[in-house]
Amino acid sequence: MIMVGAMIAALWGIGAVMKAPHQARWTMIAILLVAVMVLQLVLPAGHPLRAATGGDARLWGLVIAFGFIVWGYRQLLRRLRARVAGNAAPVVASDTFSPTELDRYARHIMLREVGGPGQKALRNARVLVIGAGGLGAPALQYLAAAGVGTIGVIDDDLVENANLQRQVIHLDRNIGMPKVHSAAEAMTAQNPFVTVRPYHRRLEADIVGALFADYDLVLDGTDNFATRYLVNRTAVALGKPLIAAALTQWEGQISLYDPAHGTPCYACVFPIAPDAALVPSCAEAGVIGPLPGVIGAMMAVEAVKQITDAGQGLGGRLLIYDALYAQTRTIAIKPRADCPVCGAMG
């Protein structure tokens, strides 16, 4: 009996060290108990191994039966909880805030620059986030928490183990899941009062116009220049304000591009894509984990300011943050009259 208990403890300990799921550990213990039961039935009475493992098959029969009862009870509870969750009343939007919403957004409403009208503007806003990776993850989390009413997110990637060092909206259990669905799950779990629209596909020229037309504001957190230029051209053509950010290793940058209101567009500041060797990806050059959180949170702050018309945004200014040396600097940027994308607006 003591030997079997020691073996069970050893199996559980090895599973814990190897970070095996609880279900796998219980399975191994169940296999051990069945093997002990077989020994009790096969070996003759008085055999040393049979004596060391309890000496009576009925004892282990009771242990196994009790285990099945506990397992069945847990399965029944799980199904009942799932049924209750499935029958839960959906959150119904109304023209007024519910007591729960008022309490949730109280810290916003107390701000003079936001107040009730600003929070209502957030609820009525429709924001599209391109990319659910390093920059998109924190931006999406804070937009949902802030109560932005409709949030679209487009990305064609799946959650990978290497993402979890910085893309904090995704969980280990969601590895292999489309990033947009993983993000949507986290956002609605955090705030059921928002609507999340996940688009699991690549942003391409044939859909970008129709997609942007359905939103008031676009946040670009992509990691390649071809998509950034496509996003910029479309935003300019449709008159949509664009908050775009980028990062590498220890440094990030962010600005608001809104030529319809006098700012430069992205192509004014970055007219030509640099050589790929000069701007390696995060996979090639690395990136410090919290940096996307800093810049992605800045994107969310700028989005909230843009929606609520609070303070001064980053239109006409490029903010650069150097995490390694804890330095922040802002560079003035101006529209270019010869810009092929927005020059005609000047």
User: pLDDT (tens digit, 9 = 90+) per residue, 90-127?
Assistant: 444 557 899 999 999 999 999 999 999 999 999 999 99
Sequence length of the chain is 346
How many angstroms separate the Cα of 246 from the Cα of each of 149, 168, 182? 25, 17, 22
Structure confidence at residue 215 as a pLDDT band (50, 70, 90) = very high
Q: How far is CA 17 from CA 10, 21, 36, 171, in A?
A: 11, 11, 25, 20
- Kindly indicate the confidence band of residue 346, based on its pLDDT and cuts at 50, 70 and 90: low
DSSP 3-state of 178:
strand
Active site residues: 282
- Global pTM? 0.72
pLDDT for the residue 119: 97
Residue 87 has pLDDT above 80, yes or no: no
Q: What per-residue confidence (pLDDT) applies to 282?
A: 67
How many whole angstroms separate alpha carbon 144 and alpha carbon 332?
A: 31
Domains of the chain: 2-86 (no CATH), 117-345 (3.40.50.720)
> For residue range 13-39, what is the model confidence (pLDDT) as tens digits?
776 666 565 666 667 777 777 777 777
